[in-house]
Structures are given as structure tokens and as C-alpha cells.
């Protein structure tokens, strides 16, 4: 079993767009998506669930694009 992990990684706009583009291409093709985050390669299966979360607290807002799956 892999150790638990909770990492937030910040990317430049260009890097973020590249990753989103690769993700969208994988989803359209029905293929798994591979991404490296903080030195670990993650493989997202084609059947993963995708959702978008919006949070607001005071004058701060956040949108999270989430991908969930079970190994």
C-alpha cells in the first residue's frame, strides 16, 4: 500500500494549460492520464470521476478541478 499524501503543487499558467490540454486529450481518447507531481508519477485510469468544486470564504474564492478513483 502506498503512503498517504496531501500535496498542493503550484504551476505557471503555461504549465497548467499544458497539463489541462494533455488531460482533456486523454479523457477524449478514453485513455489513462499520467502526471508527475512532486516527484511521483501518478496514473489516472480512464474511468475516473471528474468534478469541479467552488469554495467561498469571506472575500477569498477557490475553484478545484478534482479527479477521483479507487485503485
Q: What is the domain partition of the chain in residue ranges?
A: 13-68
Between CA 62 and CA 36 the distance in angstroms is 23
Predicted pLDDT of residue 3: 87
Q: Is residue 9 predicted with pLDDT exceeding 90? A: no
pLDDT, residue 1, reads 81
Q: Which residue has the cell 478534482?
A: 66
pLDDT the model gives residue 40: 93
* Phi-psi map region of 7: left, alpha, beta (phi>0 left; psi -120 to 50 alpha): beta
CA dist 10 and 12 (Å) reads 7
For residues 2 and 70, which has the higher predicted lDDT (pLDDT)? 70
Question: Using one digit for the tens of pLDDT, what is the confidence trace for 17-62?
Answer: 999 999 999 999 999 999 999 899 999 999 999 999 999 999 999 9
The whole model's pTM is what? 0.83
Amino acid at each position: 500500500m502506498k503512503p498517504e499524501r496531501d500535496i498542493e503543487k503550484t504551476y505557471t499558467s503555461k504549465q497548467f494549460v499544458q497539463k489541462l490540454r494533455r488531460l482533456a486529450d486523454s479523457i477524449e481518447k478514453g485513455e489513462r492520464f499520467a502526471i508527475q507531481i512532486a516527484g511521483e508519477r501518478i496514473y489516472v485510469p480512464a474511468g475516473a470521476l471528474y468534478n469541479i468544486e467552488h469554495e467561498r470564504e469571506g472575500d477569498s474564492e477557490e475553484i478545484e478541478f478534482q479527479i477521483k478513483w479507487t485503485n
